[in-house]
Each structure stands twice: as C-alpha cells, then as structure tokens.
A = this chain, B = another copy of it.
C-alpha cells in the first residue's frame, strides 16, 4: 500500500482529506495524540483508539535513547512493540534536542548531544535520524531539522534554515532505502521571518517530500504571530500534499490553523492539561480542581461521546484530583483526547458541508455561552 493523500473537500483555505498509509487511513484535519515513550501518558491505547485517534506520534528522541531503535526493531517495530496497529508518525528529534538535551553541538554533519537519561553522548546525523525511524517502522518519518527558540536573531534563524535544508536533502537520500509505502515529510523552518519561511518552503518543495510540516512554531511566539506564519506559509506548499503544524496546540489554535490550510497536528496539551486537572469541553476549559466543583453532581458533559465525561460527576473528578488519585488524570486526559478528536471530526464535516467558518463561530460561541457549565477563572 503506497502512501497516498487526496483532498476530499476544501472550504476557503480549509481542507479535508484522506491520508492512506500501510497501517490504515487517516482522515484530515487530524489530531495526533503524543505517545512520547511508546505510550500516551496515563491512557491505555485501546481508549486512545476509542477516542477516535487514527494516528499516533512517537518521539524518536525518547525512543532512540530508551529502549533504543535497535531493540524496538528486534521486537518487531514500534507498531508491534506498543501494540498500536494503526498509523504512526515519528518526529526526528530536532525539537527535543533543542528543549531537553543538556548539552548539544550542531555541526554540518549533524547534532551531538548528551542524553538526559544516562549522560551518554549521542550523535545524530540526518542519515542516522532516517535509520532510526526506519528501524522504528513508522508510517511517516520526519526529516532531521534544527529548531530555533523564538525570539531569535535573524542570522541564527537563517543559518538554521539553510542547514535544515541541506539536512533535508541528505534525509531524502537516506530514506530511499525505507520500505515502500513509508512517507517522509520535510520541515519548513524560518522562525517568525516570512521571507525565510517562503525560501524554506520553496526549497523543500524542490527537493520533494510526501508531506510538509511547519516546524519551529509554538516555541514562545504569540498566537497572532504563529497564525500569521501559518497563513503565509501554507499556500507556499504543494496543495496535493498534507501539511502538518508541529506541536500545536489549543482547540482555538487548531481551528484557526485549519482555517489557514493545515491538515495535521500533534500536541501534549490534552494529556498534560488532563493530568493537571484541566478539561477541554464544549463549554470551554474547566479546571476541575476548583473548589466549587466539590458538590457538583453534574457530569462534565452529559452529551459527550466520552464515557468518562458522561459517567462521573464533577464532584467525583474533583475528589480524585484533591486526593491525588492518578485515575483523575487518566479520566481527564481521556476526556480531552475525545474532545480534540470530536473537534477535528466536526471540522472535517463542516469543511465537507462548506460551512467551516460557521463551525468555528459556533464552536467559539459555545465555549463562552454556557457560563453555568464552565467557569470564568481558568
């Protein structure tokens, strides 16, 4: 089964599509839960699947350090290892090296960094990044890139862009040995500089990838800046390829990015916020740890598709967090994963119906309309 993407509907700049991989079809716009260490934090895979997730993200940086790509390959690849027989995308480590590794040195050859786990020095070249992801067996691999924290000097951003482009070429060559059907995405860099973003997008398109990501956003800039970059970069990418906005974001971020032509997202927010007691709901965010939930017999959302949002009272969820029971984080993570999937399913349906702008407006209105069902202090 070759990797294949086709658009099924467009509505303004918003797009709905189908991405076919060797492990199944992904309907876009798609949200990918993050399975950093071959597990979505606190949530059983079966529940992740039941939430509607069609594709997971695995973090190459974490997996190559522990348990190692070679070990996972010997155990049958990442799908078999974690028993997730559906599509998987692996990132290339660029972002984690920037944010997690205590020491790192970037050269033309690649990046050398100190493992945050055991202190060992690790070398990661574009070729090794491809080898690792081929060993993991992901359906979609990402090029190795250099990700720059914002704000940054233009010359630093420019240097990272041109280096990332040379690495993109090397990744494409190295990935030629991957099994048929596997896809490789290039990553547009350029910080908040639209000239550099446009150059990066054009050069990557010239190299030619199965899909294109916009990287280096959600790294400190405002939502306004991020959406401006997205709005200007997405049209510079080939319409017939999937577009992936890495590491984004809130429900509002997702809707606004879809409106600007993005097809794929990943983010730890649903699970991280869930573990911290913050629920994303149709009625806006709800901080279940707030005292006024202690006696509230109502569920978070009686009409949710998520059993946990229907079955348990706010009082009980509040109690779990107050008592330090990890079940609370598990249930809220799950509620959030369902909400993100439902948000994307609604977007797909609205795009197909040619009413995406209305969908965004209605969704936003509902986030703020029912004050008695949420709260104002989150």
Task: Please encode chain A, from 329 to 354, with 1 for each CB lying within 8 Å of some chain B CB and 0 for all others.
Answer: 01100000000000000000000000
Shortest Cβ distance from A107 into chain B, in angstroms? 30
Q: In the complex, A67 Cα to B39 Cα: how many Å?
A: 32
Task: Please encode chain A, from 26 to 58, with 1 for each CB lying within 8 Å of some chain B CB and 0 for all others.
Answer: 000000000001111111100000000000000
Q: In the complex, A327 Cα to B38 Cα: how many Å?
A: 11
* A residues lining the B interface (CB < 8 Å): 37-44, 62, 66-67, 71, 74-76, 81-83, 294-295, 297, 311-313, 315-316, 319-320, 322-323, 325-327, 330-331
Q: In the complex, A71 Cα to B297 Cα: how many Å?
A: 11
Q: Is the interface of A mostly helix, strand, loop or mixed?
A: loop
Let me know if B39 and A325 touch, CB within 8 A: yes
Contact of A43 among B81, B295, B327 (CB under 8 A): B327
Report chain B residues within 8 Å CB of A322.
66-67
Contact of A37 among B39, B311, B319 (CB under 8 A): B319
Report chain B residues within 8 Å CB of A330.
42, 44, 326, 330
Determine the residue in chain B with the shortest Cβ distance to A315.
B75
Shortest Cβ distance from A112 into chain B, in angstroms? 23
Let me know if A76 and B297 touch, CB within 8 A: yes
Report chain B residues within 8 Å CB of A294.
67, 71
Report chain B residues within 8 Å CB of A81.
313, 315-316, 319
The 10 closest A-B pairs by CB, nearest first: A37-B323, A39-B325, A39-B327, A67-B319, A42-B326, A75-B315, A83-B311, A75-B297, A81-B316, A326-B326
Shortest Cβ distance from A245 into chain B, in angstroms? 26
Let me know if B325 and A41 touch, CB within 8 A: yes
Q: A37-B323, A66-B319, A71-B315 are in contact. List 13 more A-B contacts (CB 8 A).
A: A37-B320, A39-B323, A39-B325, A41-B327, A44-B331, A67-B294, A67-B322, A75-B316, A81-B315, A83-B311, A83-B312, A326-B326, A326-B330
Shortest Cβ distance from A260 into chain B, in angstroms? 35
Q: In the complex, A325 Cα to B35 Cα: how many Å?
A: 10
Let me know if A38 and B319 touch, CB within 8 A: yes
Determine the residue in chain B with the shortest Cβ distance to A43.
B327
Report chain B residues within 8 Å CB of A42.
326-327, 330
Instruction: Answer whether A320 and B39 are a contact pair too, CB < 8 Å, given A81-B313, A315-B81.
Output: yes
Report chain B residues within 8 Å CB of A312.
83
Q: In the complex, A62 Cα to B327 Cα: how many Å?
A: 17
Instruction: Answer whether A323 and B83 are a contact pair too, CB < 8 Å, given A71-B295, A75-B295.
Output: no
Instruction: Answer whether A66 and B326 are a contact pair too, CB < 8 Å, given A313-B75, A315-B81.
Output: no
Q: In the complex, A76 Cα to B320 Cα: how many Å?
A: 17
